Amino acid sequence: MQTVPNHQVENLQIEDDRTGLSVECLKRAFLDNLFYVQGKFPKIATKNDYYMALAYTVRDRLLQRWINTAVIYTERASRTVSYLSAEFLMGPHLGNNLVNLGIYDQVKQAVSELGLDLEDLLEQEEEPGLGNGGLGRLAACYLDSMATLEIPSLGYGIRYEFGIFDQDIRDGWQVEITDKWLHCGNPWEIARPEWEVYVKLGGHTEAYTDEHGRYRVRWIPYQVVKGVPHDTPILGYKTNTANTLRLWTAEAPESFDFGAFNSGDYLGAVQAKMVSENLSKVLYPNDDSSQGKRLRLAQQIFFVSCSLQDMIRIVFRQNVPLEKFHEKFVVQLNDTHPAIAVAELMRLLIDEHDMGWDQAWSITQKSLAYTNHTLLPEALERWPISLFRSLLPRHLEIIYEINYHFLEEVKAKFPGDSDRLRRMSLIDESGEKYVRMAHLACVGSHSINGVAALHTKLLQQDVLRDFYQMYPEKFNNKTNGVTPRRFMVLSNPRLTNLISSKIGDSWIKHLKDLKKLEAFVDDPEFCHQWRSIKSAIKHDLVAYIQKQNGISVNPDSIFDIQAKRFHEYKRQHLNALHIITLYNRIKANPDIDITPRTFIFGGKAAPGYYMAKLIIKLLNSIADVVNNDPDVRDRLKVVFLKDYSVKFAQRVYPAADLSEQISMAGKEASGTGNMKFALNGALTIGTLDGANVEIRDEVGAENFFIFGLTAPEVYALKARGYRPLDYYHSNRELKAVIDRIASGHFSHGDTQLFKPLLDSLLHRDEYLLFADYQAYIDCQDNVSQVYRDRDRWTRMSILNVARMGKFSSDRSIRDYCQDIWNIQSVPIELGECIQAKE
């Protein structure tokens, strides 16, 4: 579609009621939106109507910045980061936009003068749960930081109709419920049907010779799907930059099934429409695993092709020659989920835009960069060749050709090393043939990064070792970070205000400035305030738990929290072994002096991951027994908070005393919850895994509870031959814990319920719980000791926060900009560009 220049429209002043930030103006605008957009008046308005009216009021204020940003980027054809991710776990938009616009307090006052409560309205928002966990949330933090640092960027992904399932707990078991996040409408997005694109799937290819006598390939697809972009503005913190998150919905093209339609096959045509729409129907609920499902590959090519076609459209619109695609865009691949971009960009340049192979390959490599997020072998994506060919016949040809050239390169660098060729090939030929997506991403990108120092080192030494030897210059580390706007300013206003009252508020944009807090660590008044704030927040969570779970919790107990996806490598069940250890000590000696603790868990398990679900059941079963045993006398409480989400996380991090980061060393690529907890003043008990290593380096070993085997020790133990039964037989407390579970004590006498879990521990224990058990218990005993010295604990808490500066996603993004993206900021002035340039 053409844009029509219209100077009358361009000269319109945007009305004050759509941009003004005064309380009076906000009130007027709110009522106006309630009436004209939501179609309601106060007498009959529901809470959701009020939420919508407020959301539109805030969106109007974003639009002015959004349009200014778009105009300036277009005029200057600014270099742009394109962040491709199958997941964006944005969390609720309203509160975050209020913080970033700097109007939280004005809006709170405006709605309160209208007799409403802002917290109530914030609670009303259905969050877009378009991600599983850390990987999707990282993408969201990075969008926040790019906007805050005024970096031109586009996030590209899928607008799933159903995001991550809602979790209910019934009889202690996880039950999944579809997430209908769109059912009340989404006020934050704007559909852009004028920028729809088409994606081909299936069918076959044909070779032909073009009018210049060149060999060409034509792809005759079985199916064509339409992608429609839905844009959401991403505002930076106190900047005018509003970047775009562009999510694609799949639709059936109107024309495609007319054949079927006209021949009277109405239901066949509708069927085809439903098949198309399936592509953006639901998020795959797996974190750290891949199953090689056809629909998932179709989702990947769908959003990748839509996004690359969109970038090419922008290149043309800005009069950039296609040969300079890589100068206009740098495309970051968030794991291998968008790695098909390597073949798709080649295909678009060669088949659709007549470019030669060598030039297309050079542009592809210069444009793409790959971030790896996992060391788990089961998470490395591979697609059976037959499936791949049936969906993407042309891409398979291109991958074969890339592979041919690549293996020639390998041969030249390592002559006579056929084993290496086999290991590095883009095609796994050891049994059934597979396409290896991580290899494709490595070959097609100019940069390969891990997400924490240890993770990058392990990639180089192990998982991607051959690629490191081949292309050492491509490898680099980018330790993850989190946005302090959402995870401090918005979620922990009390601590934010205390900190800002002492050191000013520069830390919100320059997190390293938190260092200035160290000057107050010996100030008794400050320490007292610090402690009262933590205590007040804990009281709030106590009330919430009372309401949600009907459990009364002692606010003076240690709030010991493990909140993350359920996975055996993350070892929530090691935490369970500790709880039962304490329980056994109490049962053996009811008057024992134990530092009171509340164990809080939150997190979802992949629906098909039986063991993870059994661990959830175990925790809930322990909770039932421990919380109701009179011998325990409220010294221990176990709480499973259902349906963990971003909204929920924001409530939980600020209330934590102790953060559990206890994965088996060498398994957690980075972790980001570890950063959010520490930033909110929790102390960490953790293994030397992922970013824990760097957190400990920053906050100081004396302010961190470290335990357990290191990654090299893990490998060594496994190489020696690990025998979990030996630990069981030689460790009295451990044996008692396992026997207690086996006896049916937590399962109403049922000795079979947890047998699969116990068998797996006793006979395999892949994640070395038994090997780390004693070290964990000793470390926890030390935690309990230290907690009794409240002054010491407070001091450690303050020092943790003061030294967390490195873990801002702003720092991560600055590093990406410098080392990978080669991109500068483009500040946005308001007002200079909405009017037409005469």
Q: How many CB atoms lie within 10 A of CB 775?
A: 14
CB of 28 to ligand B1N, least distance (A): 43
Reference 627, options 649, 599, 654, 606; nearest CA is 599
Closer CB to ligand B1N, residue 492 or residue 670? Answer: 670
CB of 294 to ligand B1N, least distance (A): 15
Cα 652 versus chain centre, distance: 17
Which residues are CB-contacts of 469 (< 8 A; sequence separation ≥ 6)? none
Closer CB to ligand B1N, residue 484 or residue 671? Answer: 671
Closer CB to ligand B1N, residue 249 or residue 480? Answer: 480
Confirm if 168 and 707 have CB atoms less than 8 A apart.
no
Confirm if 370 and 447 have CB atoms less than 8 A apart.
yes
Chain positions contacting ligand B1N, by CB under 6 A: 132, 134-135, 138, 284, 286-288, 335, 373-374, 379, 451, 480, 668-672, 690
Confirm if 117 and 44 have CB atoms less than 8 A apart.
no
Confirm if 672 and 659 have CB atoms less than 8 A apart.
no
Reference 638, options 551, 714, 528; nearest CA is 551
Q: How many CB atoms lie within 10 A of CB 161?
A: 18
CB of 566 to ligand B1N, least distance (A): 12
Helix (H, G, I), strand (E, B) or coil at 331: strand
Helix (H, G, I), strand (E, B) or coil at 557: coil
Confirm if 668 and 689 have CB atoms less than 8 A apart.
yes
Q: How many CB atoms lie within 10 A of CB 700?
A: 12
Reference 98, options 232, 238, 231; nearest CA is 238
Which sequence positions are flagged as catalytic? 373, 564-565, 570, 672, 676
Dist. CA 623–CA 595, nearest whole Å = 18
Beta-bridge partners for 207: 217
Dist. CA 464–CA 587, nearest whole Å = 50
Residue 574: burial class (beta carbons within 10 Å; 0-12, 13-18, 19+)? buried
Q: Give the residue ranges of DSSP H helices in 278-350.
A: 294-317, 325-328, 341-347
CB of 379 to ligand B1N, least distance (A): 5
With CB atoms as reference, the residue minimizing the distance to ligand B1N is 134
Instruction: State the DSSP H helix or E strand holding residue 683, giving kind and residue range, or none if neither.
Output: strand 683-686
Confirm if 257 and 272 have CB atoms less than 8 A apart.
yes
Dist. CA 99–CA 237, nearest whole Å = 7
Closer CB to ligand B1N, residue 392 or residue 669? Answer: 669
- Write out the two tokens for 98: 């209020």
Closer CB to ligand B1N, residue 284 or residue 467? Answer: 284
Residue holding tokens 């007799």? 115
CB of 375 to ligand B1N, least distance (A): 9
Which residues are CB-contacts of 479 (< 8 A; sequence separation ≥ 6)? 451, 452, 453, 670, 691, 694, 806, 807, 812, 815
Closer CB to ligand B1N, residue 135 or residue 398? Answer: 135
Dist. CA 539–CA 553, nearest whole Å = 9
CB of 775 to ligand B1N, least distance (A): 22
Confirm if 141 and 88 have CB atoms less than 8 A apart.
no
Q: How far is CA 527 from CA 517, 532, 656, in A?
A: 11, 9, 17
CB of 567 to ligand B1N, least distance (A): 8
What counts of helices (H) and strands (E) characterise the chain?
A: 34, 25
Closer CB to ligand B1N, residue 372 or residue 797? Answer: 372
CB of 323 to ligand B1N, least distance (A): 34
Confirm if 150 and 827 have CB atoms less than 8 A apart.
yes
CB of 598 to ligand B1N, least distance (A): 26
Closer CB to ligand B1N, residue 247 or residue 379? Answer: 379
CB of 808 to ligand B1N, least distance (A): 15
CB of 451 to ligand B1N, least distance (A): 4
Residue 176: burial class (beta carbons within 10 Å; 0-12, 13-18, 19+)? middle
